[in-house]
Structure 1
Amino acid sequence: MALNPNWPLIETAWGPYWDANGGEIPPDRYVEVKTIGQFATGRGRQYQLDQVQAGTCSMVLPNQDGSLDPDNTAGPYAGRIKPFQPIRRRAQWPPTINLLTQAQATGGDVGGQPLGVIDGSDTGPRILTDTDGTGGSFVASGTAWQGATVAQFAVSSTAVAAQWICYTAQPGVLPGQAYTVQLRVRNVTPGTTVQVAAGFRTRTATDAAATTAVGSTASLVGSATAAWTQITLTATAAATSAALFTGVQIVTAPGATAQVQVDGWQLEKGSSASAWVQPGVWSPVMSQFVEKWPATWLDGGTRGVVQPTGVDSFALLSQFTLPDPLTAEIQSHSPRFLFRLDDPAGSTTVADATGTYTPAPVAHGKYGAGTVTFGTSVTATDTVNGVFAGSAGPVMHVQNASPATNLLAAASFIALDAVGIKGPALAGSWTRVLAFRYTGPATRTQSTIMWSCFDAQRPVIGNTLEWLIAPDGTFQIVSAGPVAGSGQHSKAVPEVEADDGNWHIGMVAYDAAADGLIVRLDGYAHTFSNVVGSGNWPTLLVSDALGNYVDRTNGGGTVFNWAGDLSFCAEFPVAFTLTDCDNLYSAWKQACAGESTDARYRRILRYSGYGGATRLQAGQTTDMGPAAFAGQDALTALQGCVDTEGGAHFVDAAGTVTFQARTARYNQLVPTVVFGERSDLGEYPYEDCQPDFDSTHLGGIAQVTQDGTGQVFTATDSASVKSYFPRTLTRTVNAVDPLECQDAANYIKSRYAQPSTRVAALKLHPSAYPALWPVCLSLEQGVRVRVMRRPLGAPAIQIECFVEKLDWTQDDKGEAVLILQCSRADTLVYGRFAAWHTTLSAGAAIGATSITVKNSQDNTNPLSSQLAAGQQLILGFGGSVPEPVTVLSVGATAPGWTTAVINLTAPTIHTHTTGGVVCEPMPAGVTDPAAFDAVSAFDAVTFAY
């Protein structure tokens, strides 16, 4: 395979094997496609305050044979050409004939792989195995074929022929191409022999076999000092190939488990094995999804091309409209059914929001009808704390006769069994959820039942499952099982008064595999084990009534009647964990209020069904208000998290959704790359730079609106208003703390009160200057760069900025250009004051009223300006007897002081030795005040006060 040493090895690959995959860019099973003409891709936003746009790409693919025509039923991809299949473009630099990654080719020596079990995730090295249940390992070896690390895999005596000892499916396959694979292998388990061969397989887009080839058998005799054996294979990918697998296969299994090591792996295009080379670094250029497949026939219909366009996962997220947080949380667990019970006034049925079941009817017991009212407002005895915020909208109210008594009385209810719901799906694990508010009489002698299920026979007690409020006011689940004499068994949540006229949410989760049960009400949960084993779990249920006790076995008898409101009746085909319960309760009770920006960002992705890779930094806003994203598309809701954080988000070149906290830019104090004319100073050249000094985002008045309250926080720069006329910049944030909202306004004002030079376009031309290739391939949004301009006869101009947008164009004529658009970095240096700390210059005995300390971080300013009377300190912090003390006064110090006296308000009660730590109180979890400096400072300066 001929290589241009000044151009990277480029692979453009499409995944007809895959669908949208929840926004995931799969790491393997691709078919390589050849582009003609120009390829272009762009990602990013214009400037720092702008909303990020979905990434796009465009390319031209030859289609003379119609193989890429979705209507070609005889083509190799028939039925597998669809919108939103993954497409990627990546580049290897420096270029080599070896198509593998560095980790695959070197047995983990290169590529940043740790020793130990091989990471089998999508982001791992993608070395997979059929024979080793652990996934194989990277191990150190003094006799590695090359380097000092090898890949090692177990092969048991039960392994069968054609199983992979190791393989990868990462390189895209080019149909009709001849490939050669070579590997070095050995068996390091004495007393065993395993027969292996190099393997080559391709699969079609429908996962059928396309090409199968096996190399010559090598018999590996086990020895701790075994020599390396080279195995090779040449094979041609069939025309229908859509995925390529290469590696080491079993021919005959050993008599006992053997450990096979692999090193020196190479896959190349061609019909013979070349000398092994370590491949260059594969860098992603674009990872997106094909949105359109427009076709064109040129030259009188003799030359066909398709011009697919792609979008990244942000485009997919922009298509999904979020419901309210509670509905979203429920839907994220794929419910069996969900009756929201928010049906309009006058309804006679309730609709299943999943669409699985037909609407369930309002039914009546044999003693007459009660009243079921729809469209009821959400209210409670405590109208502030007794309601839920997770979903606006009406609820269902039930008012049945003689509630909470053992009188046989008229009642109405929702007949779930009428639409085929007859108790939980007892064949497996499940969870049921119901929100309720009891409005019946305060004095009760009998339980009031809100949900009931019965079996068909019900002899004596029979099989039943009931949700109720017991006479003592507790929420209980009561079951009667199939074991004779087992009787009724109740599981209660005693911590909550369930009959207080306020809203509550109950959850019951049954784990069939563990035979365990979780019963939860609001924030309290109890777990039970051996549920079925003790004979107290019902089976053979045939009726299911929501809103009352209904016994179908006697014609619909109703008793223990319910009076109150009901909402969100749901069942799930899995047993919730306590974390699942926490999430659902938070969504119901407070619409997820109180979480950090990264937690909210992660929640929105989960609600949207996103299943791709993420890289989410910890947000600095740790207390967001309620999630009011109902009706928003997911991308807009994600942008709301970013606006609140004051950070950034984007889909990187590998397709990973990335969320950056505001600290990501605060903490980048030096550029990653410097662009300029001085290569002798380590600068990289550019062909064109277009600085822009304009009024974009210029404003002397910053107004930040607090989401939820609508309160506006304003910061004004009078000099900016005077110079540029009143210009207002607005932002909406969802931070609970009003001081944080004011801080956001102050920051925007300070950042944008005066104009700053931006870089509208910086043209990099790696095809003309190949040393730029590794720089261009490594750049990403949010990276800090420096742009140098040196006008003739004038001082050098230095622009510090962050990359906001990257636009690539590459063509088949050997041209490649990358255009960067950049925002100006903050012109101010930010810092955060850390804890004051020092050590004792002399020991302090019990009863000491003063201590002598060594100089602290700041010994220029007097200590009395850093510590105030009444301030608390900790003596012996981190020791066995840390003691809080209070400052009475501080002795005089001069610039350069080395010791100081601190007088205390009370005598010490412990002895403290020389060198003991003296510091301000530390945050929870911090054990070293010096380390606290490191995590508190935005730069290298330690601040003190």
Structure 2
Amino acid sequence: MSQNPNWPVLVGELNPTGNSNYGLGVAGCFADLTGRLIQQWGTARGRQFELDEVQPGTWSGVWDDRDGALDPSNTASMFAPNLVPYRPWRVRAQWPATVNLLSADQATGGEGTPLAPGTSGAPYFVTGAYGTPVVTASASAWSGTQVWQVTTASAAVGSALVSFGPLPVRAGAVGLPYAFSARIRSATAGANPTVAPSLAWLDTNGRTLSTTTVAPMALIGSATGGWTFAGVPDVVPVGAVAAVFALTMTVAPTASWSFQVDGAQFEQNTTASAFTVPGTWFPLYAGMVERYPQAWNDSGAFGTVTPTAVDTFALLSQVQFTDLMTAAIQAPRSASGAGLSFCYRLGEQAGSTQFTDATGQRGPAVVAPTGGVTAGVAQTSASPGGGYAAAPGTTVVNFNPGANAGTQNYLPEPCLILPPGPDGLYGPPRTGGFTRMVAFRQTNTTGGQDVWCADSPSSPTSTATMEVYQGSFYMEFADHNGGGATVNLGAVSVGNWHLAFISTDPAGLGWRACVDGVVSSGTFAKPWNPPDFFSADTIAADAISGVNNEFVPFAGDISWACQWPFQLSPAQMQQIYQIWRTAGTGDSTGQRYARILGLAGYQGPSLIDPGQTTNLPAATDIAGQDALTALSQVVTTENGQHFVDVGGVVRFQDRSRRAKAQAPTFVFGENTAAGELPYDTVAFDFDPTHIGNDIQITQNSSGTVFRAFDAASQAAYGIRTVTRTTQASNPLEVQDAAHYLLGRYAKARMRISALTLNPGTNPTLWPVCLALELGTRIRVNRRPPGAPMITFDGFVEAINWNADDGANATVDVQVSPADGWTAWTDAAMHFTYAGNLINGTAWYPFGGLLTDPAGNPVHANLSIGQRIAFLTTAGTSYPVTVTGLDGNGVGSVQLSSTAAATGPFTVCDLLPAGVTDPTSFDAMAVLGKTTTLGY
């Protein structure tokens, strides 16, 4: 099929069974609906200049639905019953246009990006039943210098050596021809396999509808031998939305061997044409179809659907946080999507005798009729660091068994009795694995005390118990067949709070536990497989045989009793513990952004900068907020940006991004002979709404308002107040932020309200428009007749595409001005020292080691008492203290060290947490043109 060389290959694709990477990843197959795109479509992404709130990115268009296939109520549709809200939708374009619909990486063994040798083909939909193909360098590649290679053992017959796909095809285009072709070879001398090329057609659920296989072909093994053409032409069958090309082995070599593929091509054609390296595929939009409005015109003869799509921010705006801890325990999900089984927070008010499951899946836990259980108790601890920060203000439950604490007896004692599950059974699930978590504070050390226990009356007794005994925390699993074990999980202090997890895998053989963030794991000698009957499930004592008699009762406070119907990972346990203990205290803005994103349930792709603001206070302020608002507050604190990019990736960019972007990526203007890019129209505006001369920033943690104002600006424009709230804990940073905003907004500044680019009529703009992204720095030159040239440097804040089925396409861009100064930071001092580090106090000959020792001697960079570091090539850092300067007048420095090590070293300033490269700040170490700001 011929392609218009002045127009990209533009496709719109729907995944009716996926979830747009918001949850557990994309499932099913994308269906190509390009043939149904009619009339106009467009996107809207970004924000109105730099001060307005970020909105979810949208796409809207029109689908031809005259056959009713895109009618959600049509049960006979090939898409039924999956046309429901929030199904993945993407628009992408290949430029330059080629007949090859693959990506350049798929077609050439990773030469498009390029991918490094050893890269797995799985993310690029190049897979195999005998091992995933990997990028491999080859001097005799069919095309270029790399190939896809899979190495397999002998006797591997009957499945695909290599598969490409699923590859989207025109949905509903029955009889439309497609052809897949590739060059293949056995790369091992003496390995002579026979393979059969095939093309399988898939429905929207990824199920195979039919397969076309051509005659098997015998290959002669050679590391540098020739390549064999393998191709399969076919036509789209009824119900197909995707195709998979496979090379299946029918005769296998007798020893391990390697198989290679190169020069792959998928095209809409009756037969394979000459191989072409594909043009670059650019994403234009990635989101989810939210609505499917239908209309029937021409007396019902012509049906249309006018879908609207939103990106991930739309879903994040609907996630409401009650508190940080609740969000943390709700985040883990099993592979099937299962979450918490129950959560008894135990935060009810004083006098309560029943305690609710926060998930609403179980009945209330009730107090055993013995007294000694007090609700509504304030959280306390024996030491300042012994409490927990999550969900501040919530109360806990106290258990007071009096003199019977830790005493084995068969008397009624204080405890909570948990109800059975939906299956009517007490205790943890018997199959599928589980995890239990509880927070506790022991106040009496007598004997052994059961924190949480499920047991049965069978002989011997089956149990799942959490217990403290003589200053240690134990888990005990036992069943009637001798399975399970008792494991000491480490010391726990008295009077302070602890968080403990115990878990088993689906087989009941592997166990995992976590106490105060320390994870341990192992296997039982015999699997733990208890019977289907537990008599009771109790907190703070062990109820025997369901008769409300208890023994070894617990004395102290308990909260957060939770269970999951699967085994949590070590990372999940540790994350919940860290949130419970500190609520994110000490986070950088990047860490806080990632934390909130994860707690919102997002498991899709993200690119998150570290953040320049560090040591944030506890993230207790997210309670009652939606996730997008919480994320936006982090961005405000950072003075950065966040958005969902054209590929659906959530991005957080810290303030250093724009500070470092000193040169424009693209230059637009009338002088195309000098390389300037043409535009249709440009509109400049002073936009007085973006004037601020009374800056008021409220520090969240203290409530203090930090101000900066400009009297001259107020006289010129009136008092224009800008208010912000920041999570930054350092008051100097908050004040710096106020002065930065004042410097940026005190004067009226020109902005570009509209810049229109027209790639539809000027093909040279296609690669520019397709590569344009939010936050890109650009320059626009305008040469008005009889007036000086206007030169505007700024950052792209919004991008709106407008296109139709008549080969018209324009892009409207809004741009905010770049700062009028060059931001800078003090770079870390660093130089190479070839000597050794001495344990103790010694003089070091550092004189002349800096690049400009005459004007910048070492002693000018150091002071007595300063801490610096010796950094090894392996990344180990040895901090030392400066105790003397300029020994003997030759630039020697006296240092005190508590360690000895062998050089060479990089001697440098102490680096911030997470930074291991002292050159990280060099690119920013440029003195400002007009002013310098530490913010």
When the two structures are superposed, what TM-score results if normalisation uses the length of structure 1?
0.87
Q: CA deviation at 1:920?
A: 5.6
Separation of aligned partners in 2, 1:41 and 1:299:
28
Q: Which moved more, 1:702-711 or 1:395-404?
A: 395-404
Instruction: Tell me which of 609, 626, 634 is aligned to 1:633.
Output: 626
SS at match of 1:170: strand
- SS at the partner of 2:632? helix
Equivalent residue number for residue 815 of structure 1: 808
Q: Shift in Å at residue 517 of structure 1?
A: 4.7
Aligned position for 2:458? 457
Aligned counterpart, 1:896? none
Q: Which amino acid aligns with 2:493?
A: E
The C-alpha deviation readout for 1:25-60, integer Å capped at 9, x for no partner, is: 749822111211111111111122322110111111
**CA 1:939–1:196 in 2, change beyond 3 Å: closer, same or farther?**
farther
Q: Distance in 2 between matches of 1:350 and 1:916?
A: 60
Q: Does structure 2 conserve the Cα–Cα contact (< 8 Å) formed by 1:493 and 1:526?
A: no
Q: What's the CA shift for 1:221?
A: 2.2
**1:277-296 paired onto structure 2 within 5 Å:** 277-296=276-295
Q: Give, in whole Å, the separation in 2 of the partners of 1:11 and 1:621.
A: 41
Distance 1:514 1:940, change over 3 A: farther
Q: Relative to structure 2, which stretch is displaced further, 873-882 or 386-395?
A: 873-882
Structure 1 or 2, whichever has the larger Rg, is 1
Following superposition, the deviation at residue 89 of structure 1 comes to 1.1
**CA distance in 1 between partners of 2:602 and 2:849 (Å):** 54
Q: CA deviation at 1:290?
A: 0.7
Is 1:729–2:715 an aligned residue pair?
Answer: no
1:94 to 85, 88, 96: 96
84, 97, 100: which one aligns with 2:86 = 84
Which ranges of structure 1 fall in alignment gaps of 5 or more residues?
892-899
2:450–2:542 contact (8 Å) kept in structure 1: no
| Residue pair 1:674, 1:683 contacting (<8 A) in 2 also | yes
Which region of structure 1 is more displaced relative to structure 2, 765-774 or 919-928? Answer: 919-928
* Equivalent residues of 2:134, 2:149 under 8 A apart: yes
For the Cα contact (< 8 Å) 1:463–1:540, is it kept in 2?
no
Shift of 1:586: 1.8
Work out whether 1:673 is the aligned partner of 2:666: yes
Mapping 1:637-716, distance limit 5 Å: 637-716=630-709
Residue by residue over 1:579-599, the C-alpha shift from the partner in whole angstroms, topping out at 9 and shown as x without a partner, is 333312221122222222222
1:138 is the counterpart of 2:139: no
Distance 1:146 1:876, change over 3 A: closer
**8 Å Cα contact 1:295-1:305 kept in structure 2:** yes
Aligned to 1:40: 42
- The answer as to 2:211 corresponding to 1:219 is no
Q: How does 1:26-175 map to 2 (within 5 A)?
A: 26=26, 29-33=29-33, 34=35, 35-121=37-123, 125-130=124-129, 132-133=130-131, 135-161=132-158, 163=160, 165-174=162-171, 175=173
Residue type matched to 2:7 in 1?
Answer: W
Residue in 2 aligned with 1:894?
none
C-alpha distance in structure 2 between counterparts of 1:600 and 1:140, whole Å: 41
Q: Over residues 356-412 of structure 1, what are the superposed CA-to-partner deviations in whole Å (9 max), with x where a residue is unaligned?
A: 333344333xxxx22444444444556885354335433334444544153654434
Partner of 2:4: 4
Residue 604 (structure 2) pairs with residue 607 (structure 1): no
Do 1:872 and 1:887's aligned partners in 2 also have CA atoms closer than 8 Å? no
Residues 193-272 of structure 1 correspond to what in structure 2 (within 5 A)? 193-272=192-271
Shift in alpha-carbon separation, 1:511–1:839, aligned structure 2, 3 A: closer
Paired with 1:179 and 1:547, the residues of 2 have a C-alpha distance of 64
Letter in 2 for 1:652: D
Decide whether the 8 Å contact of 2:19 with 2:87 is kept in 1.
yes
The answer for the alignment partner of 2:345 in structure 1 is 340
Letter of the structure 1 residue corresponding to residue 583 of structure 2 = A
> Take 1:311 and 1:731, find their aligned partners in 2: how far apart are those partners?
28
Q: CA deviation at 1:184?
A: 1.3
Match of 1:497 in 2: 493
Query: For residues 592 and 540 of structure 1, what CA distance do their matches in structure 2 show?
Result: 40
Contact 2:879 2:910 survives alignment (8 Å): no
* Distance (Å, rounded) in 1 between the aligned partners of 2:836 and 2:412: 82
2:450, 2:540 within 8 Å by CA — same for their partners in 1? yes
Question: 2:501 is matched by which residue type in structure 1?
Answer: M
> Deviations for 1:341-369, whole angstroms, at most 9, x for unmatched residues?
234566554332333333344333xxxx2
Aligned to 2:796: 803
Residue type matched to 1:185 in 2? I
Structure 2 counterpart of 1:897: none
Q: Whole-Å Cα distance in 2 between the matches of residues 446 and 842 of structure 1?
A: 58
> Which residue of structure 2 aligns with residue 895 of structure 1?
none
Deviation at 1:179, TM superposition (A): 0.8
Is the 2:542–2:552 Cα contact (8 Å) retained in structure 1? no
Deviation at 1:763, TM superposition (A): 0.3
Per the TM alignment, residue 258 of structure 1 is displaced from its structure 2 partner at its CA by 3.7
Go from structure 1 to structure 2 and tell me whether the alpha carbon gap of 1:384 and 1:212 turns closer, same or farther (over 3 Å shift).
Answer: closer
Contact 1:411 1:558 in 2 (8 A): yes
Q: Tell me: CA distance 1:537–1:261, structure 2 relative to 1, closer, same or farther (3 Å).
A: closer
Q: Which residue in the other structure is 1:18 paired with? A: 18
Using the TM superposition, name which of 351-360 and 647-656 deviates more.
351-360
Q: Distance in 2 between matches of 1:25 and 1:643?
A: 29
1:718 shift after superposition: 3.2
Task: Give the match's secondary structure for 1:22.
Answer: coil
Shift of 1:249: 3.4
Tell me the amino acid that sits aligned with residue 774 of structure 2.
Q
Deviations 1:195-249 (A, max 9, x none): 2233222111233433421223322122234321112222111131122222433
Q: 2-side partners of 1:907 and 1:660: how far apart?
A: 39
CA shift at 1:642, angstroms?
Answer: 1.1
Q: Which shows bigger deviation, 549-558 or 705-714? A: 549-558
Contact 2:285–2:647, Cα closer than 8 Å, also in 1: yes
Contact 2:636 2:726 survives alignment (8 Å): yes
Indicate if the aligned counterparts of 1:784 and 1:801 stay in contact, CA closer than 8 A. yes
CA deviation map 1:163-191 (0-9, x unaligned) = 35221223344432211222111222232
C-alpha change, 1:71 and 1:517, in structure 2 (3 Å) is closer
Instruction: Give a deviation string over 1:593-613, Cα, whole Å, max 9, x none.
Output: 222222222222222221221
Label 1:758 to 1:474 Cα distance change in 2 as closer, same or farther (>3 A): same
Q: Does 1:581 align with 2:578?
A: no
Q: Deviations over 1:789-830 (max 9, x none)?
A: 122233322111011110001111111000001111111111
Unaligned runs of 5+ in 2: 333-338
| Of 858-867 and 702-711, the range deviating more from structure 2 | 858-867
Q: Which moved more, 1:769-778 or 1:237-246?
A: 237-246
TM-score w.r.t. length of structure 2: 0.88
Residue in 2 that maps onto 1:321: 320
| Distance in 2 (alpha carbons) for counterparts of 1:906 and 1:664 | 36
Counterpart residue type for residue 590 of structure 2:
D
Contact 1:38 1:812 in 2 (8 A): yes
Change over 3 Å in CA distance of 1:909–1:730 after alignment to 2: closer
Tell me the percent identity: 35
The equivalent residue for 1:362 is 367
1:873 to 1:474, Cα distance in 2 relative to 1, 3 A: closer
Q: Distance in 1 between matches of 2:502 and 2:411?
A: 28
Instruction: Identify the residue that residue 506 of structure 1 maps to in structure 2.
Output: 500
Please report the RMSD computed on the Cα atoms of aligned residues, expressed in angstroms: 3.9
CA distance in 1, matches of 2:599, 2:846: 58
CA distance in 2, matches of 1:29, 1:909: 60
Residues 48/552 of structure 1: CA separation in 2 closer, same or farther (3 Å cut): same
Whether 2:177 is the aligned partner of 1:183: answer no
Give CA deviations for 1:528-555 in whole Å, capped at 9, x if unaligned. 645445x999777613433333342383
Equivalent residue runs for 1:240-639 within 5 Å: 240-333=239-332, 334-343=339-348, 347-364=352-369, 369-380=370-381, 386-400=387-401, 402-404=403-405, 406=407, 408-416=410-418, 418-419=420-421, 420=424, 422-425=426-429, 427=431, 429-438=433-442, 445-459=446-460, 462-470=461-469, 472-478=470-476, 489=486, 491=488, 493-494=490-491, 496-498=492-494, 500=495, 502-510=496-504, 517=511, 519-523=513-517, 525=518, 527=520, 529-533=522-526, 542-553=534-545, 555-627=547-619, 628-639=621-632
- Which whole-Å CA distance do the structure 2 matches of 1:875 and 1:559 have between them? 57
What is the total number of aligned residue pairs between the two structures?
913
The CA deviation at 1:564 is: 3.5
